[in-house]
Amino acid sequence: MGDARWLSDEESFAWSNFVQAYHLLERQIEQQLQRDSGLSHAQYNVLVVLSRQPDHRMRMTELARRVVVSKSSLTYQIGKLEQAGLVRREPHESDERGIVAVLTPSGQSALESAAPGHVETVRTFLIDLFSPEQLESLGTWMEVVRDKADI
């Protein structure tokens, strides 16, 4: 414990504000999505990632990596989305052990319905608070953090 590089006052200030801002922003997004569409933020992210695939399908292991959740958490979220008819699971075409998540037409409709309110929340609580230059810096800083943490 004696070798720890403790945070300076400035570093602690930055860290504390980052953590609080992240959690408060996440709360706003969760509340908006639940209120407007009945989706969790995790479920919304699954729909977004699948919608961006050319054939609206992705192997479950890759999907878990892309939405940054554990495989068991993704399985739970996919189960909820499947019950709602928003996704379906299929065997992988060339790997009998693999499972693919597929966005259904109902899932695409749900995403299209939820997206405007979600984007407005993201704009209100993040994007519109900064100048274009600040946003570019923020994006660059978060890319550095993401790349370091994605090990």
Residue with the bigger pLDDT between 104 and 151: it is 104
pLDDT at site 92:
83
What is the pLDDT at residue 54?
Answer: 87
23 by DSSP, 3-state: which? helix
- Residue 71 neighbours by CB under 8 Å, 6+ apart: 60, 61, 64
User: Residue 67, exposed/middle/buried by CB under 10 A (0-12, 13-18, 19+)?
Assistant: buried
Are residues 50 and 103 in contact, defined by beta-carbon separation less than 8 angstroms?
A: yes
Structure confidence by residue, pLDDT tens digits, 50-101? 999 989 999 999 999 999 998 999 999 999 999 999 999 998 887 777 899 9
Give the chain's domains with CATH numbers.
14-149 (1.10.10.10)
Per-residue pLDDT tens over the stretch 5-38: 999 999 999 999 999 999 999 999 999 999 999 9
106-149: per-residue pLDDT in tens?
999 999 999 999 999 999 999 999 999 999 999 999 999 999 99
Does the pLDDT value for residue 1 go beyond 80? no
- The rounded distance, in Å, linking the Cα atoms of 34 and 123 is 18
User: Does this model's pTM top 0.75?
Assistant: yes
Structure tokens, 96: 């009998």
Note every long-range contact of 133-138, with CB atoms under 8 Å and residues 24 or more positions apart, other chains counting.
none
Residue 15 token pair: 């860290």
